[in-house]
Amino acid sequence: MAKAEKAAAIAELSDKFRTSGAAVLTEYRGLSVKQITTLRNSLRGNATFAVVKNTLTELAAKEAGVTAFDGQLVGPSAIAFVDGDPVEAAKGLRDFAKANPLLVIKGGVLDGKPLTTEDITKLADLESREVLLAKLAGALQASLSQAVYLFAAPLSQTARVVEALRAKVEAEGGPVAAEGSESSTETETAPAPAEEDAAAPAAAATTEDVAEGGDES
């Protein structure tokens, strides 16, 4: 390979390292062209599976600041450059390796952090981004439905719910609501006018008695 071609290849690989969210190094010794094509098709949309030259890849990785593959670029190497969902890419590689043991997953890098083979297996066991988003959307929809029901409920029904909660708090020995306190105060002070009214006739009767007594005398 000419010097200019090597420089172009290094620059291209270096750019892939920089722009990819993750990269997984594999050894494909013994795999046929057909099998590699099948793997590429299974990763499509999430990763690009590229057969690479070890020396050029080592230089490109160094240029891009990637150290995860140091000492691992030996034998026939291929890298899955992930530009989609890293979980789905890891699942695709794991499943293919199970069906085709000749594919060996050596390690990887995710957001600049090195990944071991075990890390990639754990990543493959995670739920995909779409599944997590679907679950989140479902949870939000359920919460919104409850909120809509509460806001749409008649005022009388809402009042009954609030009163039931207040009664429950009182029954459990909790603090009485401010509204209850006001009602209690009113109940205690209410008899006062009645006492005044009762006293008034008594006073009037006494006056009359005095008046009558004066007439008799």
Q: Is the pLDDT of residue 209 over 60?
A: no
pLDDT band, residue 131 (cuts 50/70/90): low
Q: Is the pLDDT of residue 208 over 80?
A: no
Q: Is the pLDDT of residue 105 over 80?
A: yes
- In terms of Cα–Cα distance, which of 53, 110, 55, 48 is closest to 80? 48
Q: Is the pLDDT of residue 196 over 50?
A: no
Sheet holding 113-115, edge to edge: 47-52, 77-82, 22-27, 104-110, 113-115
- Mean pLDDT for the stretch of residues 55-78: 95
- Mean pLDDT for the stretch of residues 33-60: 96
Q: Is the pLDDT of residue 142 over 70?
A: no
- In terms of Cα–Cα distance, which of 45, 49, 46 is closest to 97? 49
If one compares 80 and 156, the residue with the highest pLDDT of the two is 80
- Mean pLDDT for the stretch of residues 133-141: 60
Q: Residue 6: phi, psi to the nearest 5? A: -65, -45
List Cβ neighbours of 196 (8 Å cut-off, separation of 6 or more).
Answer: none
**Chain centroid to CA 109:** 24
pLDDT band, residue 189 (cuts 50/70/90): very low
What does the pLDDT read at residue 212?
Answer: 43
What are the angstrom distances between the C-alpha of 144 and each of 132, 149, 157, 161? 18, 9, 19, 19
What does the pLDDT read at residue 137?
Answer: 64
Look up the pTM and report it.
0.60
b/e burial code for range 79-102 (CB count within 10 A of at least 16 → b): bbbbbbbbbbbbbbbbebbeebee
List Cβ neighbours of 81 (8 Å cut-off, separation of 6 or more).
Answer: 16, 17, 20, 23, 47, 48, 50
The pLDDT tens digits for 156-173 are 555 666 666 677 677 776
**Do residues 39 and 94 touch, judged by C-beta distance below 8 A?**
no
Lowest-pLDDT choice from 54-58, 63-67, 176-180 = 176-180
**What class, spelled out in words, does domain 3-126 have in CATH?**
alpha beta
pLDDT band, residue 197 (cuts 50/70/90): very low
What does the pLDDT read at residue 3?
Answer: 87
The pLDDT tens digits for 16-25 are 999 999 999 9
| Structural domain spans, the chain | 3-126, 127-177
